[in-house]
Structure 1
Amino acid sequence: MFNHLALGGGSALCGALATIVAIVSSSTASAQSNSGVTLPPVTVTAPKSSQPKPKRATRSAAQSNQAPRRARVPAQVAVPATVPASLMVATAQQALREIQQTPGGVALVTADAYKNSTVANTIKDVLDYVPGVFVQPKWGDDTRLSIRGSSLSRNFHLRGVQLYMDGIPINTADGYGDFQEIDPTAYKYVEVFKGGNALRFGANSLGGAINFVTPTGRDPHINGASVDFGAFGYRRLQANAGGTNGPWDGFVTASTQAAEGFRDHSFGQSTRVSGNVGYQFSPDFETRFYLNANEVRQRIPGTVTKMSALTSPQTAAPGNIALDQQRNIDTVRIGNKTTMRFDDTTVEFGAFGVDRHLMHPIFQWLDYHYLDYGGFARVTDDRVIGGFRNRLIAGVNLLDGSIDNQQFANLGGQKGALLSSSIDRSQNTSVYVEDSFYFLPNVAAVAGTQFLYATRDRQDRFLSDGDQSGRTEFNLWSPKGGLLWQIDPTWQAYANVSRSAEVPSFGESANGPGIPTIPFTSILPQTATTYEIGTRGKRPDFTWELTAYHAQIRNELLCLYSAFGNCNVTNADRTMHQGIEAGTGVALFKNVITRGDRPDKIWLNLAYTLSDFRFDNDPVFGNNLLPGAPRHFVRAELLYKHPSGFYFGPNLEWVPQAYYVDSANTLTTEPYAIYGLKAGFDNDGPYSAYIEARNIANKAYIASASIIDRATPNSPLFEPGTGRAVYAGFKVRW
C-alpha cells in the first residue's frame, strides 16, 4: 500500500516536507503565542434563552489564538501579525474547554508542561503527572502503560488503551499498540480520556484513549531546534519549521536519537518525522493532510529474576543476548481531515492509511507486515432549543486491517526455517451518539451510547502443524450517562456510569503442556461497567483533580495459565477495579524573594493514584489482588519559579508498597523511592535550557514487571529501573 521507510528514507522525507513548508511559509505570519500560557478558567455554563445567538464574527473571535499570556513576556520575542487560527486543530485553551465538557476523568497535558524542562524521551515524561495513569519504562522507548488497571496482563506491546496521533490510530486494527512511534518533541498537547470517557473516538476499552496532537503552520513561534544529551550515551537532535502563505499553512518536525542504554543489550536508535499541510477555503471550511514516518531499531535486554534486578540491574537476560532479541519498526502513516462549520453545527470527516513493518527477533523471528486503513465522520451540534442549551455529538469510525504474519526460527538473530504463517484480518465499525442537555444553566445531563461491530479472521497458511484458521464476530453496545455541574466559572463536579467493551486481539489464546488449549476464537470480549464521581478546577494559584471510580468487569483478559514461563491470556470470570485519582498544583509560597505583580513562588505538583484491583470470587484465585500495578503511586515535584524564567527544585517517585506479579499472590516487587533534581531557564523567549538529574541515590529498583499466573523466586519477570543519570538540553524557537 505504501513504500516502507528505508534506512535513509527519514532524511529524504524530512527534506520533502521541509520544501513544502518553505513554500507555504514564504509570507509567514503567526498568531500571538499560546505556548506556555496559563490556561483560562474552563466555563461551560449554558447560554440563557434571553441571550442573543452569537454572530459569525463573534464566534470566530472566540476561537482565535489571542489568549492571555503569563505575566512574564520577554521583550526580545516579537509578536507577529495575527493570522486566522486553524479551524480543525484547537488551541490548548479551546481543547481544554472541549475536553472538560466530559462528565468524567479526562486530562490535557500541554507541551510547555514537559518539553522545555525535561529530556522528554518517552511517554512517561509526558504523562507522569496525570493521576490514574501508571506509566513506567521497560527498555528504550518501550513502556508499560495502564489506565485504571487496563492491560495488566499484557507483557508485550500494549492493549486496553487506544492511541491516536491527530485522531489517526496508532494501534493496529486488532487492538495492540506500541510506543516507538511516539515522539514527545512533536506535539502541542496530549489529550487523555480515561475509560468510557473516550466515546468520541469510539474507544472500546477499559483504559480509554490518548490523542497526541501536532501543531500546524498557524501556531505561533513555529520554528525551532533542540539538542539533548546525557547518561548512557543518550543524544537527540530535533528541528521543526512551519508557516502560512494565504490560505495555505504547513508544519514539519523531525528528530533523530540514539542511546547505548542503561542495561546491556539495550542500544537503540530512531528517526521520526511528522508533518501536515492545511488549506482554508474559508474561516468555516478547512482541510488538512497528515504524514508521519518512523524508523526504529532497538535491542531488547529482557526480563530477569528479582534478585538480578536488584543486585545487578544492568545485566540483560542471557537468552536475549544469545538470540540477539530486537524490536525494529518501520511505519508510514498518512491521513486527511476536513472540517466544515455551519452556524451551530460542525462536521468533521477524514480517512487514513498505515503501513507498518515489524521485524522482531525474540523467541522466534517475527516478521509482521500490517496494512491498516479507515475513516471517520463526526458532527457536533450546539444550540439553544426551547430556551435550553443542547449539545449533540454523533459519529462513526471505521478501522480495518490485515497482518501478513510470518514466524521463523531465530538463529542468533537471523531468520531460520518458517514455523508459522497466516493472514490475520480485522474489521471494526463503531457508531456513537452523545447528548448534553442543560436542564439548568450550569448543569447538564449527559447520555450516550456506542455500538461496535468487529470481526477477527485468521487464514492459516502453514498447515503442517494443523489448521489454525478461524473467525469471530462481535456486536457490543456501550451506553453511558452522567451529570456535569459547573459550580462556578473555575470549579466543576461530575458523575457518570459508563460501559466499555474490549474486543480481544489475535494474541489472546492458551496452549502448552499441561494447560487447556483455548484458541483465539474462544476468547470472549471484556466488558466493564464503571461508576465514577469527581471534581476538578483551576484557580490562579491552585489547580486540582479528584476522581473516585469503581468498575465491575466480566471476562477480563488476564493471565490464568502459563507455559514455558510465558503468560497465556484468556478470560477471567469476574474482577473488580476501583481507585482514587488525585492531582494538584499549588503555590505553597509567594513573594519569597521577589514581590509585586510578578512575584516568585514555590510551586508543588502532585499526582497520587490509589489502585485496588482484585478477582471477584474466582474459582481458582478467590479474591486475590490482580498482579501488575502498585496499590499506591506518588509523583511529586517542588519547584522554585522566578519571574525571570529561572526554576529549580527536587522531585520524587514513590511506590511505598510492593505489588504482586502473579495471580496466585506469591511473589512481589519491592517498594522504592527515587529522587531527582532539575534546574533551568524558560521565560517564553527564544531560548530555554535545562539540566536534570534522575535517581540521584543510584537506587536499584524494579520499574515494571511482567505477570504470570504462578511465580517462583526464579521467575524472570522483572525490569530494573535506570540508575543515576544526568541529562541536559537547549532549545531555540522563533
Structure 2
Amino acid sequence: MGKRRTWIAIAVAGWPLALAAQAVTDLPPVPVQAVRLDIPPFDLPAALSVVPVATRASGKPGVNLSEALVGVPGVLARDRQNYAQDEQLSIRGFGARASFGVRGVRLYVDGIPATMPDGQGQLSHIALAAADRVEVLRGPFSALYGNSSGGVVQVWTAAGGPVPVRTLEAFAGADASWHLDAAARGMAGPLDYNVALGQFRTNGYRAHSRAQRTSGNARLGFDLGNGRTLTVVLNTLAQPWTQDPLGLTRAQWRADPRQSVDAATAFDTRKRVQQQQLGATWRAEGEHDGVRLMGYAGQRAVDQVLSIPPVAQQSPLSAGGVIDLAGVYGGADARWTHRGQALGRPLEAVLGASWDAQDQHRRGYENFVGDVLGVAGALRRDERDRVQAFDQYAQLYWHVAERWALLLGARHSEVAFRTRDRYVTPGNPDDSGRVRYRATTPVAGLDYRPGAHLRLYASYGEGFETPTFNELGYRNDGGAGLALDLAPVRSRNGEVGLKWRPHDELGVELALFRADSRDELAVASSHDGRSTYRNVGRSRRQGAELSVDGELGAGWRLRLGLTWLDARFRSGFLACADTPCLAPDLRVPAGTRIPGVPRRYGALRLERGSDLGWRGGLELEGVGAVPVDDRNSATAPGYLRTGLDLGYGLALGGTRLHVSARVDNLFDRRITGSVIVNDGNGRYYEPAPGRSVTLGMRLEL
C-alpha cells in the first residue's frame, strides 16, 4: 500500500494541472547539442530532457547536480550525504552499481568530458552557479558517445550577455552547512565571460561526515568574426578534507541513522581531492559547412584513507589501506558538419574523431604505523596506469519526406588499458599487463510527424561498457595482475515514443524502452578492502517513462517525471551467501532484480511566481524499494519525500534582492537516500537527512 500511495500522490498532483494548461507567449528556442546536429528536441527521435538550471529559484544551495534534475524521467540522482564518495547517478538502471563516482553514464561540461576513457566519471567539479542548462539524453542514441554511455548528461555554462550581471549568494542550513557564491557575467567587445567562485562547508548530517569544497569556473567566449568563435573553459576544485562516515547495516540505520561506524572514527576515514582543468573549443560556421575543434587537459590528485584492518593487510598481495592517486588527462575532438540536400530534401551530416587519455600514478600504503591507525605507513602498491580511447563517428539526419525524418549514426571505439607494476617483492610478483577492447556501435531512429503538435518515433542502437580500472585492478582467482579475462558489457537498445505539445510551452512525452545486455559485470569477491569482478551473463532493463514539462498558465509551471523500470539478470550465476565475500557459493536464479535499481521512481516540481514578488514551489520525490546486493538478500525501503520553498524578490534601484526559505523532508520521514551495492561488510545503507531548513539570499548587482 505504501508504494501505491507514493505513485498515486505524484500522479494526482501532476495530471490535473497538466490538463488545465493554458497557452503562453513563445520563448526563443534553446540551442541543444546532445546529438551534435541542429535538430530541435521536439523533432529528435530520442528521449531528451533539457532542464534550465534554476536551483536558486527553488531555494536550493546549488551544491549537487541532483538539485537540478528533479522531474527528469529515467534519471535517479541520489545525494549520498557523503562528499568523499560523490553523488550516485544512474539512467534507466545503467550506472546503479557504482560504489563511488559515476560509471555507466557519460558526463560532459561545456562539451568537455567529465568521464575518463575507462568509463569512470566525477560530478564534484560542476559549478551550478555558472550553469545555464542540463541536457539528459537517454536510450539508444547515447551510444553515439562511445564507452559507458548508458545515458549522457551534459551541463552547459551560461554565456555572458550585453547587460552585465554580478551576483552574490549565501545559503545556510542544518548541520552547520553553508554555501557562498560570487559570479560575474557580461560582455566586453568581442569577449563574453562568465566567472564563478564558490565555497561550501558542512558538519554533515551524520557523525564523521564533515566536508569542505572550494570551486571556481570561468567561461570565456571570443567572437573572431566571419562565423568563427573560440570558447575557453577553466575550472578548479579543492576538497582539502572530506570525512567518510561509511555505510550502515540495516540494524544500525534503524537504531540511529546519524551515526557512523566505529571503523570510520578509528581510522579517521577521509579523502582529499585537487583538480584543475583547461579546455578550448574553436568553431567555424559557413553557409553549408562547419568545423569544430576541441581540446582539453587537466590534472587530478586523490588521497584517501580506508578502514581496512591491519590484519587484512598481512597478505603480500594487499594494496594497503591508503590510496595515493595522482594523474593527468586530456583529449581532443575534431568534427566536420555539412548541411545540404539529398533528392531535394534537407540533409545534415557529421564526421568526427576523438582521442582521450588518462595517465595516473597509483600508490598504496598501509593505514597504520605501529598501533597508530589512520596514517600512511609502509608502501604496498606502486604502479603506472594508462588508459586511452580513440573513436571515430558519423551521423546523418535526412528529412526524407514532409512527415518523415531519418537519423542514422555509427561509432567505432577502441579502449586500451596498460599498467606497469613498480612494486615487485618475493611475495608480490610483477602485476604489469595490458588489454584492449574494440566495438562498433550503430544507431538508427525514425521520426513521424502526423501534425504540428505531435511526434512519433522509434529508435535502435547498440552500446558497450568496458570495465573501469578499479574493476580490472584485481583478478578473482587471487593471482597477480589485471583481470584481463573481463569482457566488456554489450547491449542492444530499443525505444518507441511520442511527444505531444498541446501548447507551445507545454510538452508531454511517453517512451517505452528495452535494453538487453550480455556479459553483465557482477562482484566475484569482496573482502579485506578488495573487490573483484566477473562476467555473469545476460540482463534486461525495460520500462516506461512519462514526463510533463511546461507552463500551465496564470504563472504556474510543472515538471513531472515518472519511471517504471524492470531490471533483472536473465542468466543465473553464483554470488556470495555471506559478507565478507571470499568466493561465490550461492546460486542466484535468472529473473533476480539488478541491485541498486528501484522498480518505480519519479518526482515533480510545481511552482508559481516570478523573479520579483512572491515565488513558491512544491516538490515530491518518490522511490520504490531498492535491492542492495546481487542475491537480493535485503532491500532499502521506498519513500515519498516532500519539499516546500518560498521566496521573495524586490528591486532596490539597479539592484535586485531575493530571499528564500526551504524545507526538505517536510514530514521528517526516515529515508535511505542511497545504497552501497554489494558492500563487502554488509553496510549497504546511506541515510538521508530528516526535516531540514535552508535559508538563502541572492543579490544581483
Could you say which residue in structure 2 is the equivalent of 1:456? 417
Q: Distance in 1 between matches of 2:182 and 2:386?
A: 38
User: Which of 462, 466, 473 matches 1:499?
Assistant: 462
Q: Distance in 1 between matches of 2:226 and 2:101?
A: 41
Q: Deviations over 1:286-319 (max 9, x none)?
A: 1122211110131111111012123311101221
Q: Distance in 2 between matches of 1:716 and 1:658?
A: 17
1:658 and 2:625 are equivalent in the alignment:
yes
Structure 1 residue 692: Cα displacement: 0.8
Structure 1 residue 445: Cα displacement: 1.2
| Stretch of structure 1 that moved more, 507-516 or 481-490 | 507-516
User: Which of 305, 325, 333 matches 1:368?
Assistant: 325
Could you say which residue in structure 2 is the equivalent of 1:391? 348
1:611 and 2:560 are equivalent in the alignment:
no
The letter for the 2-side match of 1:499 is E
Q: Distance in 1 between matches of 2:95 and 2:530?
A: 16
1:231 and 2:199 are equivalent in the alignment:
no
Q: Distance in 1 between matches of 2:518 and 2:565?
A: 18
1:546 and 2:510 are equivalent in the alignment:
yes
1:165 and 2:109 are equivalent in the alignment:
yes
Could you say which residue in structure 1 is the equivalent of 2:591? 623
Q: Distance in 2 between matches of 1:551 and 1:398?
A: 27
Alignment of 1:450-599 (within 5 A): 450-464=411-425, 465-509=428-472, 519-538=482-501, 539-540=503-504, 542-564=506-528, 567-585=531-549, 599=554
Q: Distance in 2 between matches of 1:687 and 1:97?
A: 38
Q: Deviations over 1:667-709 (max 9, x none)?
A: 1111222222111235999333321101122222211111229
Q: What secondary structure, in the 3-state scheme, does the structure 2 residue paired with 1:185 have?
A: helix
* Residue 257 to residue 407, structure 1, CA distance change in 2 (3 Å): same
Structure 1 residue 223: Cα displacement: 2.5
1:274 and 2:183 are equivalent in the alignment:
no
Q: What secondary structure, in the 3-state scheme, does the structure 1 residue paired with 2:263 have?
A: helix
Q: Distance in 2 between matches of 1:610 and 1:163?
A: 24
* TM-score scaled by length of structure 2: 0.85
**1:102, 1:197 within 8 Å by CA — same for their partners in 2?**
no
1:408 and 2:362 are equivalent in the alignment:
no
User: Which is richer in strand?
Assistant: 2
Q: Distance in 2 between matches of 1:67 and 1:513?
A: 55
Structure 1 residue 441: Cα displacement: 2.2
Q: What secondary structure, in the 3-state scheme, does the structure 1 residue paired with 2:142 have?
A: helix
**1:698, 1:723 within 8 Å by CA — same for their partners in 2?**
yes
Q: Distance in 1 between matches of 2:524 and 2:483?
A: 15
Structure 1 residue 724: Cα displacement: 1.3
The letter for the 1-side match of 2:87 is T
Q: Deviations over 1:25-81 (max 9, x none)?
A: xxxxxxxxxxxxx9987xxxxxxxxxxxxxxxxxxxxxxxx9399xxxxxxxxxxxx
Could you say which residue in structure 2 is the equivalent of 1:637? 605
**2:24, 2:505 within 8 Å by CA — same for their partners in 1?**
no
Q: Distance in 2 between matches of 1:497 and 1:574?
A: 19
Q: Distance in 1 between matches of 2:293 and 2:591?
A: 46
Alignment of 1:137-152 (within 5 A): 137-141=79-83, 142-152=86-96
Q: Distance in 2 between matches of 1:420 and 1:256?
A: 34
Determine what percentage of the aligned residue pairs are the same residue.
24
The letter for the 2-side match of 1:648 is G
Structure 1 residue 132: Cα displacement: 0.2
Q: Deviations over 1:209-267 (max 9, x none)?
A: 21111123337554322111111111111111133222223321111111111001111
Q: Deviations over 1:545-578 (max 9, x none)?
A: 2211101101122224333486533222111111
User: Which of 297, 302, 309 matches 2:246?
Assistant: 302
Structure 1 residue 536: Cα displacement: 2.6
* Residue 196 to residue 416, structure 1, CA distance change in 2 (3 Å): farther
Q: What secondary structure, in the 3-state scheme, does the structure 2 residue paired with 1:253 have?
A: strand
Structure 1 residue 452: Cα displacement: 0.2
Q: Distance in 2 between matches of 1:400 and 1:68?
A: 35
Structure 1 residue 156: Cα displacement: 1.9
Could you say which residue in structure 1 is the equivalent of 2:315? none
Q: Distance in 1 between matches of 2:38 and 2:472?
A: 40
Alignment of 1:200-239 (within 5 A): 202-218=145-161, 221-239=164-182
Q: Distance in 1 between matches of 2:524 and 2:500?
A: 42
Corresponding residue pairs, total: 638
Unaligned 5+ runs, structure 2: 1-22, 309-320, 575-587
The letter for the 2-side match of 1:628 is G
Q: Distance in 1 between matches of 2:284 and 2:149?
A: 32
Structure 1 residue 458: Cα displacement: 0.5
Structure 1 residue 388: Cα displacement: 0.4
* Residue 600 to residue 215, structure 1, CA distance change in 2 (3 Å): closer
* Residue 490 to residue 228, structure 1, CA distance change in 2 (3 Å): farther
The letter for the 2-side match of 1:180 is S
**1:510, 1:561 within 8 Å by CA — same for their partners in 2?**
no
* Residue 680 to residue 105, structure 1, CA distance change in 2 (3 Å): same
Q: Distance in 2 between matches of 1:437 and 1:290?
A: 33
1:133 and 2:80 are equivalent in the alignment:
no
* Residue 90 to residue 665, structure 1, CA distance change in 2 (3 Å): closer
1:314 and 2:278 are equivalent in the alignment:
no
Structure 1 residue 99: Cα displacement: 4.7
Could you say which residue in structure 1 is the equivalent of 2:400? 439
Q: What secondary structure, in the 3-state scheme, does the structure 2 residue paired with 1:124 have?
A: helix
**1:524, 1:555 within 8 Å by CA — same for their partners in 2?**
yes
**2:65, 2:128 within 8 Å by CA — same for their partners in 1?**
yes
**1:303, 1:717 within 8 Å by CA — same for their partners in 2?**
yes
**2:612, 2:650 within 8 Å by CA — same for their partners in 1?**
yes
1:104 and 2:46 are equivalent in the alignment:
yes
Could you say which residue in structure 1 is the equivalent of 2:267? 323
Structure 1 residue 385: Cα displacement: 2.8
Unaligned 5+ runs, structure 1: 1-37, 42-65, 70-88, 591-598
Could you say which residue in structure 2 is the equivalent of 1:155? 99
Alignment of 1:28-177 (within 5 A): 67=28, 98-112=40-54, 117-141=59-83, 142-177=86-121
Q: Deviations over 1:446-496 (max 9, x none)?
A: 111100011000101111211111100112100011112344444332210
| Stretch of structure 1 that moved more, 316-325 or 617-626 | 617-626
The letter for the 1-side match of 2:433 is G
Structure 1 residue 514: Cα displacement: 8.5
Q: Deviations over 1:608-643 (max 9, x none)?
A: 111111011324422211111211112123334479
Could you say which residue in structure 2 is the equivalent of 1:249? 192
1:670 and 2:606 are equivalent in the alignment:
no
Could you say which residue in structure 1 is the equivalent of 2:13? none
Q: What secondary structure, in the 3-state scheme, does the structure 2 residue paired with 1:315 have?
A: coil
